[in-house]
Amino acid sequence: MSTLVQQSCAPRGLRGLAVLVTGAASGIGRATAERCWQDGATVAALDLDLRSLGETMQRLEALDAGRYIALEADVADPIQVRSALADLARSLDALYGVVNVAGIGGYTGDVAETTLEQWGRSLAVNLSGAFHVCREALALLRAGGRGRIVNVSSQYGLLGGAGSPAYCAAKAGMIGLTKAMAVDHADEGILVNCVCPGPIDTAMLAASGRSGERSKRESRRTATRLLLGRPGRPDDVAGVIAFLLGPDARNMTGAVVAVDGGWSAS
Ligand code: NAP
């Protein structure tokens, strides 16, 4: 019996609640969607296209299609996000959680080497994407009378990394967005927190190690800073996100939580 099936018998803290997860087709987003589902939530999984959500859908739908909704949107496009959230509002009366995971990596060189297109796309997906999703999701969160938002930043939101000024700027911006929203929405009972993963074993990390000499040097530098000696797993991050969505995080808002194997401490 798979872990997913065993755990489905005992839903935990999110039973009866709905959680939207972006970037749910892969890596940290997929692990988060699965973890929220295991914890009893109805999961609205959003990604660039429904085809790419196929594997996540198969894993959850086969067990309980009623607790799974697939949504297609490019988070960088406010019109697509509005349309996806309007679809969601036709299926749900209220939303409890929003987890902004969708993101793109990639080394673009220093600021002189980074093209305007690379700068714009990184900011649009990695920062504006969360803004668009939160903006459209707020009405559904308010309808529930309380809620949680978890934004996925990065260790590169806390510290600099080689050859990635756009990514670092966007991920630092995600921390600022988190804190600003924490201030604005605390009195509505909507708590907003942020996680900063370090290197996590996903398609994005694998791709970053293949994109040229500078990225290989950065991967080696990064590896030496991992106090726990290895990249994390997607479910390491999903577990912390589940905690921030759950009852034990009721006194946390505006927090920035590193999930980086000690990377930012070294
Ligand atoms: P991943 O495996 O590449 O997953 C990212 C997911 O987001 C993919 O399904 C991707 O779809 C989707 N996505 C990308 N652009 C999108 C857009 N414009 N609209 C909607 N969905 C979009 O990456 P991951 O490693 O799990 O990363 C998840 C998040 O963690 C990202 O925000 C990343 O910056 C952050 N993070 C990762 C690491 C790491 O080491 N892995 C470290 C720190 C922070 P496609 O595959 O179709 O593009």
pLDDT by residue (tens digit) across 173-200? 999 999 999 999 999 999 999 999 999 9
| Gap between the Cα atoms of 48 and 73, Å rounded | 5
Ligand 1 center from residue 29 Cα (angstroms): 7
Please report whether residue 213 resides in a domain: yes
pLDDT, tens digit (0-9, with 9 covering 90-100), for 16-70: 999 999 999 999 999 999 999 999 999 999 999 888 887 777 776 666 666 889 9
Active-site residue numbers?
A: 167
Average pLDDT estimate for 233-246: 98
pTM of this structure: 0.94
Q: Is 39 exposed, middle or buried (0-12, 13-18, 19+ CB in 10 A)?
A: buried
217 pLDDT band, cuts 50/70/90, is confident
Ligand 1 center from residue 25 Cα (angstroms): 9
| Gap between the Cα atoms of 165 and 111, Å rounded | 6
Q: Encoding tokens for residue 88?
A: 């969601």
Please report whether residue 9 resides in a domain: no
Q: How many residues does the chain have?
A: 266
| Per-residue pLDDT at 8 exceeds 50 | no
**Helices vs strands, H then E, count in the chain:** 10, 7
Please report whether residue 5 resides in a domain: no
**Ligand 1 pocket test, candidate residues 175, 202, 226, most atoms within 8 A of CB:** 202
Please report whether residue 189 resides in a domain: yes
| Gap between the Cα atoms of 20 and 97, Å rounded | 6
Number of compact structural domains in the chain:
1
Question: 60 — phi, psi (to 5°)?
Answer: -90, -40
18 contacts 44 by C-beta, under 8 angstroms:
yes
> Which stretches does DSSP call E strand in 78-211?
97-100, 147-152, 190-197
Please report whether residue 140 resides in a domain: yes
| Per-residue pLDDT at 3 exceeds 70 | no
Which one is predicted more confidently, 226 or 66? 226
Q: What is the percentage of the chain residues whose pLDDT exceeds 90?
A: 78
Please report whether residue 161 resides in a domain: yes
CATH code where residue 175 lies: 3.40.50.720
| Gap between the Cα atoms of 63 and 200, Å rounded | 27
Residue 87's pLDDT is 97
| Per-residue pLDDT at 157 exceeds 80 | yes
| Gap between the Cα atoms of 44 and 57, Å rounded | 10
Residue 65's pLDDT is 62
Q: What's at 147, amino acid-wise? A: G
Residue 53's pLDDT is 85
**CB 101 less than 6 A from any atom of ligand 1:** yes
Residue 7's pLDDT is 38
**CB 125 less than 6 A from any atom of ligand 1:** yes
Question: Which ligand 1 atom is at minimum distance from the Cα of 100?
Answer: 32
Please report whether residue 50 resides in a domain: yes
Q: Tell the residue nearest (CA) to atom 33 of ligand 1.
A: 103
147 pLDDT band, cuts 50/70/90, is very high
Please report whether residue 2 resides in a domain: no
- The DSSP symbol for 128 reads I
| Per-residue pLDDT at 11 exceeds 50 | no
Domain that holds residue 103: 15-265
pLDDT, tens digit (0-9, with 9 covering 90-100), for 113-145: 999 999 999 999 999 999 999 999 999 999 999
Q: 10 Å Cβ neighbour count for 249?
A: 19
Residue 62's pLDDT is 62
Question: 166 — phi, psi (to 5°)?
Answer: -70, -45
Q: Encoding tokens for residue 196?
A: 């900063």
**CB 74 less than 6 A from any atom of ligand 1:** yes
Instruction: List, as one string, the DSSP characters of 211-266.
Output: S-HHHHHHHHHHHHT-TTSS-B-HHHHHHHHHHHHSGGGTT--S-EEEESTTGGG-
Residue 12's pLDDT is 63
Q: 10 Å Cβ neighbour count for 186?
A: 13
Residue 1's pLDDT is 33
pLDDT, tens digit (0-9, with 9 covering 90-100), for 95-120: 999 999 999 998 999 999 999 999 99
**CB 141 less than 6 A from any atom of ligand 1:** no
Contact partners, residue 195, CB within 8 Å, separation at least 6:
150, 151, 152, 153, 237, 240, 241, 244, 256, 257, 258, 259
